[in-house]
Structure 1
Amino acid sequence: MSITPITSAVSPSVDHRPAVTVLSGFSPGAVQAAARALLIADDSLIAISHDLTVIRDGRVRRTVESGARVLERADVEMVHGCISCTLREDVLPTLVRLARERPRSDQLLVLPPAVEPEAVAAACAHCLVDGLPVTAAVRFDSFVTVVDADRFLDDLTSTDDLRDRDLHAAGDDHRAVAEVVAHQVEFSDTVVVWSRPGSVDVHRTNVVARLLAPWSVPVQVGGSDVLDCTALAAAVLRSGRHDPERPGVLGMALEGRSIGVPEKGTSLVFRSRRPFHPERLHDALEELTEHALRGRGQLWIAAQPDAVIAFEFAGGGVSLGSLGYWLAALPPERWTETSDQRRLAADMDWDPYYGDRRTTLALIGLHLDHTAIVTLLRSCLLTDAELADGFDAWQQMNDPFEGCFPLSENH
């Protein structure tokens, strides 16, 4: 008896939502040049941009354009002059409105220099437009960051705050230039390195950008007087590279994802199941970050054994914050509040004594002394004798970080 396979007549569903490519970068000239090249290459593409130079006065200027003409330009009054309000009150509603008015036009959202792409993703995850998620109207295809080879390393090594360059979005915006530059690259799915004939830092820019975002696709542009707009569009538009499930860089290690690529002289990843002694770690922070351009990851401190502590360094300043509880500090019935990936990563590397507690730090620089840095970090860990004292004794240690990482039920 012969068997004829049954084939389905149902074709796979087609996603008709306009695709949004988010274009960010700290160098306005390079970002605008990239946006113009993409509009030239694709006459169905529309670009949305916001001028925030007067945001502290409660206004933003919105422009929508195609490759051929300006479609609209408007000054928008903001209830509160801040980036998050601008995203909620105008940027996301504009994407939804244009998707309805021009359903066959994909969108290019061009961010101002001081706006971090992760803020857009966070706003999309929490904000509704007309009672529906933003993603009911559009799909976020890719986050693309443009770095200018002539400025990138200077900005990444700068100790300036946004306020020093009059780019702060509000009175309480104390972000560092280097912090914003690093965040823009790290959240990207595609990194476009924009160079000009005679640019001298192209190689180092490529190296550092790759180390900051090894998960991103690199695209090299420039080096000649002729720009292939079609090739650039093919490299960055409709790539489908964005993974909405990928956490921010500080949460990646918790899900078992790589946060760095060890490379002699430029990048190292330090891991330890032993906790840090709070005083020794505190005293070592300045020396630890002295020669690094960027540091990131998670750590745990013996005096606060329940808290996952986020570690960030850029632009001369160290930032530590709370990422919530270690799973080992929670009753098992609460583990379902975390992602499947985090629970799987914890299960695969569970320690019978520490549980999922562990330190994972990545440091990136141009001239890292691996041996000295690892030696310094190990000297900050608990000794065998301190380890033997146990959790109760650890929490009695003198802790310079006491009260810095409060935990709540929301964590």
Structure 2
Amino acid sequence: MTELVVLCGTVPDAVERTVARMRELDPDVVVLHHELHDLDRGRVRRRYRDRELDERTVLELAHGCVTCTIREDVLPTLAALAGKVRRIVLHLDPRLEPEPVCWTLGSVPVEPNGTAADSRSDPPGQPRPVTDLVDLRGVVTVLDPDTWLDDATGDATLPERGLSTLPEDERTVAQLAVGQVEFADVIVTTRSTGPAEVDRTTAVLDRLAPMAPRQVAERGDDRLFCAGLPQQARRGVPSDVHESLLRGTPPLDAVNGVRTLLFSARRPFHPDRLHDAISSLLDGVVRARGRFWLATRPEAVLWLESAGGGLQIGHVGEWLDGADEQAWEQVSDQRRALAALGWHPRWGDRAQDLVVLCHEADPDEIDARLREALLTDAEVAAGEDAWSALPDPFGWAHDEPCSNPEPVGGDLAARDEREGEN
């Protein structure tokens, strides 16, 4: 089966050096790249390289968006190459995060001959996701250790950095930098990094992507093709919101000012106090992520994800407590087992579980702020009728820095469909 590697990074020169090294290691590899600089004008520049060709094509899309590019050209092209070449490198545009792309590769059906499936009719053949046609080996992320940590902890937006021309693209460079590394199976650096005791970037990478081996771009070996990865490697499979928040065994002790906070609690958050407390996650923090629940909406699983100076909160499903038998049957075996093991006589499977990776902030202070945001004993005793009257500034979707939230009861966007935001 044709092997597929997804390659990403925000430093074009370093990514190109990595491509050159990959082509040295395997001269027959096919490198497919879609450059999205003119996406706002409905144009995408596709580059196809193999041993014989270096072909550039300008594509005119009916709808200028990332989702259209992937569905209308990337997926059909990969499907058409499947079984005809040994290895493909899908080189992503610098502004793309690999997780939503990999979700699309594994979820959106396409005709095996490369024709995009049309959901409006009954297409011939058996449309299947690209990952049924190729072997997705994993994700390789390229970074410059001299600049990456500043990018990962800042608050500049992609348009401000010249990484996006789409007016509605309000993502931050930190979101991109952290997302690319956190989802990586292999990390490629522009130079060797020092030990964590003297290199803060190394200490952060050890905790953000503990299982990803590191290579220097020009000296990379077969691990550039995701060979020899640990058994627990992600290999391009997106996370489930109910999985363990810690992948692998990242160090939990403090090194060079870098430390991971594991926050867990069972009782609900007071929405107003939590809204005040989340400001502590935006300064001196590389990454915060996890699931939580609010007293005002006890049925809702909410997901929090921050990178640098930006934070997003969204609704990602329902807790199993109070759910009917059909809901239990529809979730994964792993989630059912975890819910049963951690079942609380009052709260059921509801829980606050957050992981906060700090590089300058004091984790103990963050822990204290979050615990102060939980309901007090008196508030818990007042019951759910009293909770429903509490002020709730979040809505169903919420960004920090704070913008007007969607009203409660508005449209709910599933986390696994985030590629539509781009």
Q: TM-score, normalised by structure 1?
A: 0.85
Shift of 1:245: 9.0
**Residue of structure 1 equivalent to 2:292:** 299
**Residue of structure 2 equivalent to 1:255:** 243
Q: Tell me which of 14, 19, 24 is aligned to 1:35.
A: 19
Over aligned residues, Cα RMSD in angstroms? 2.8
Structure 1 Cα separation of the partners of residues 238 and 409 of structure 2: 22
Equivalent runs, 1:212-223 vs 2, <5 Å: 212-214=208-210, 216-221=211-216
Higher-Rg member (1/2): 1
Equivalent runs, 1:181-260 vs 2, <5 Å: 181-195=177-191, 203-214=199-210, 216-221=211-216, 227-229=218-220, 232-234=221-223, 236-239=225-228, 243=234, 246-248=237-239, 251-252=240-241, 254-258=242-246
CA contact (8 A) 1:116 1:184 kept: yes
CA contact (8 A) 2:152 2:177 kept: yes
Secondary structure of 2:312's counterpart equals strand
**Residue of structure 2 equivalent to 1:82:** 65
- 1:332-384: CA deviation from partner (whole Å, max 9, x where unpaired): 32122222221111111111110111111111121231221111111111111
Q: Tell me which of 120, 136, 149 is aligned to 1:153.
A: 149
CA contact (8 A) 2:42 2:61 kept: yes
Percent identity over the alignment is 37
Distance 1:288 1:64, change over 3 A: closer
**Residue of structure 2 equivalent to 1:321:** 314
Q: Flag structure 1 segments of 5+ consecutive residues without an equivalent.
A: 1-16
Shift of 1:212: 1.7
CA contact (8 A) 1:288 1:376 kept: no
Structure 1 Cα separation of the partners of residues 7 and 173 of structure 2: 18
Shift of 1:203: 2.8
Shift of 1:95: 1.1
Distance 1:136 1:288, change over 3 A: closer
Which stretch shifts more, 232-241 or 28-37? Answer: 232-241
CA contact (8 A) 1:149 1:202 kept: no
Residue type of the partner of 2:22? L
Structure 2 Cα separation of the partners of residues 333 and 53 of structure 1: 46
Shift of 1:397: 1.5
Q: Tell me which of 248, 262, 265 is aligned to 1:272.
A: 265
Structure 2 Cα separation of the partners of residues 409 and 295 of structure 1: 22
> How many residue pairs get matched?
382
Structure 1 Cα separation of the partners of residues 412 and 336 of structure 2: 19
**Residue of structure 2 equivalent to 1:112:** 93
- 1:209-234: CA deviation from partner (whole Å, max 9, x where unpaired): 222223x3221316xxxx434xx224
Shift of 1:403: 5.1
CA contact (8 A) 2:291 2:301 kept: yes
Structure 2 Cα separation of the partners of residues 119 and 178 of structure 1: 16
Structure 2 Cα separation of the partners of residues 246 and 196 of structure 1: 28
Structure 1 Cα separation of the partners of residues 178 and 186 of structure 2: 14
Q: Tell me which of 127, 133, 139 is aligned to 2:135.
A: 139
Distance 1:340 1:409, change over 3 A: farther
Distance 1:331 1:387, change over 3 A: same
- 1:255-303: CA deviation from partner (whole Å, max 9, x where unpaired): 3452675333422111111211111111222234322122111111111
Structure 2 Cα separation of the partners of residues 314 and 243 of structure 1: 20
**Residue of structure 1 equivalent to 2:400:** none
Residue type of the partner of 2:246? S
- Structure 2 residue 51 is the aligned partner of structure 1 residue 51: no
CA contact (8 A) 2:5 2:140 kept: yes
Secondary structure of 1:44's counterpart equals coil
CA contact (8 A) 1:299 1:308 kept: yes
Residue type of the partner of 1:233? D
Shift of 1:246: 4.8
CA contact (8 A) 1:27 1:151 kept: no
Shift of 1:315: 3.3
Secondary structure of 1:328's counterpart equals coil
Structure 2 Cα separation of the partners of residues 117 and 356 of structure 1: 30
Residue type of the partner of 1:116? E
Structure 2 Cα separation of the partners of residues 372 and 237 of structure 1: 39
- 1:109-137: CA deviation from partner (whole Å, max 9, x where unpaired): 11111011112112123322223321232
Q: Flag structure 2 segments of 5+ consecutive residues without an equivalent.
A: 112-126, 398-407, 415-422
Distance 1:201 1:74, change over 3 A: farther
**Residue of structure 2 equivalent to 1:338:** 331
CA contact (8 A) 1:255 1:345 kept: no
- 1:171-225: CA deviation from partner (whole Å, max 9, x where unpaired): 3221111011111111222222331699x999322221222223x3221316xxx
Distance 1:335 1:139, change over 3 A: same
Residue type of the partner of 2:57? A
Q: Tell me which of 81, 95, 109 is aligned to 1:98.
A: 81
Secondary structure of 2:31's counterpart equals strand
Structure 2 Cα separation of the partners of residues 147 and 162 of structure 1: 16
CA contact (8 A) 1:307 1:407 kept: no
Structure 2 Cα separation of the partners of residues 304 and 124 of structure 1: 34
Secondary structure of 1:309's counterpart equals strand
